[in-house]
Structure 1
Amino acid sequence: MRRPTPLTPAPDQESVWDYPRPPRVEPVAARITIRLDGDLIADTRKAVRVLETSHPPVYYLPIADFVAGALTASSGTSFCEFKGAAAYFDVRGGRTVRDGAAWTYPDPMPGFEALVDRVAVYAGQMDECTVAGEVVTAQPGGFYGGWVTSSVVGPFKGVPGSLGW
């Protein structure tokens, strides 16, 4: 499929089509929160985000900013050509466990060292994820972990027919 026509961002927005490939990692000053089954399981102002062409940002929070017991090592693995080998976590909040709903890069490739000891979660598997108080929407599709806020415009990879973007 050919590249879609990017939406034009407003002055206070970013187009995911202006994000680089290979991706870039940058710090985030905003407060990030994650809730599952009514519990606040993560709260930080020390996140980083990964920006990659056609993807909404993926937010990585310090493992230390998750409540004790919220993350349990899972058996899942995957590989990113840029970041390297990922390990997965099951995520617990209240009485709910979401299998493989979070991931980390324990030994990321050069350029992605900022991801060490940080975890990203699939927003669609949580009750609520926020950036600066705004509730995010999960990136379309079941594979990608981007968080859509009002500050980014697409179209976003993950929608049907986007595999070749």
Structure 2
Amino acid sequence: MRRPRPLVPSPGQESVWDYPRPPRVENIAERITIRLGGQLIAETRNAVRVLETSHPPVYYLPIADFIAGSLSDAPGSSFCEFKGAARYLDVLGGSQVARGAAWNYPNPSRGFEVLAERVAVYAGPMDECTVAGEIVTPQPGGFYGGWVTSRVVGPFKGEPGTMGW
């Protein structure tokens, strides 16, 4: 399969096709929020984002910035060739439970140690996730957990026909 034609970013935007492989981790000081079950379950200005070719950014928030009781162990695991072994977490907010909707890397690979005490969340099952006040759109498809904002352009991996990229 050939590489798709990247969209040209406008001023103030980034193309996910300019992101590196292997991925890069960046600190981000913008306010990140996550709501579930009508409740604010996480808020931080101490997130990192992981940037990888063809993917919208994945935001990892400190575990300590989630309200107590909003994360619990879930069945399942996966392996990333760059970050290592991931565990999955259920996300709880109000009376809602989003099963397996978060993950983290308790013992990440070298270069990704900053992820050890951080959690990423799939935006789709949440009531709302925001970056700097903007409500995000989930990355297309059911596997990847990137957050799409007006600042990134694709096309994005996860859309139909993109698994071979």
TM-score range, shorter chain: over 0.9
SS of residue in 2 equivalent to 1:17: helix
Structure 2 partner of 1:12: 12
1-side partners of 2:160 and 2:2: how far apart? 13
What letter matches 2:100 in structure 1?
G
RMSD across aligned positions (CA) = 0.4
Task: State how far apart, in whole Å, the 1-side matches of 2:16 and 2:40 are.
Answer: 29
Deviations 1:5-50 (A, max 9, x none): 0000011000000000000001001000000010000000000000
Task: Quote the residue 2:35 is aligned against.
Answer: 35
Given the alignment of the two structures, is residue 58 of structure 1 paired with residue 61 of structure 2, yes or no? no
Aligned-partner Cα distance in 1 for 2:43–2:104 = 17
Return the letter of the residue paired with 1:49. Answer: R
Asked whether 1:150 is paired with 2:165, we answer: no
Aligned to 2:68: 68
Q: Which amino acid aligns with 1:12?
A: G
Per the alignment, residue 48 of structure 2 pairs with 48
Instruction: Percent identity, please.
Output: 76
Distance, in Å, in 2 between the alignment partners of 1:98 and 1:38 is 13
Please give the residue correspondences for 1:16-165 in structure 2 after superposition, counting only pairs within 5 Å: 16-165=16-165
- Mapped to 1, the partners of 2:20 and 2:86 lie a distance apart of 21
Residues 92-135 of structure 1 deviation map (CA, whole Å, 9 limit, x = unaligned): 00000011000000000001011010000000010100000000
Offset at residue 142 of structure 1 (A)? 0.2
Output the CA distance in 2 between the equivalents of 1:52 and 1:105. 17
Q: C-alpha separation between the residues in 1 aligned to 2:41 and 2:19?
A: 29
Give the whole-Å Cα distance in 2 for the aligned partners of 1:76 and 1:88.
6
Secondary structure of the equivalent of 1:8?
A: coil
Measure how far apart 1:76 and its partner are.
1.3
Q: For 2:45 and 2:136, locate their aligned partners in 1 and report how far apart those are by CA, in whole Å.
A: 16
Structure 2: stretches of 5+ with no match in the other structure:
none
Distance 1:114 1:8 in 2: 31
Structure 2 Cα separation of the partners of residues 160 and 111 of structure 1: 31
Q: Which blocks of at least 5 consecutive residues in structure 1 are unaligned?
A: none
- TM-score, normalised via structure 1 length: 0.99
How many residue pairs are counted as aligned between the two chains?
165
Deviation >6 Å, runs of 4+: none
Matches of 1:26 and 1:127 in 2, distance apart?
26
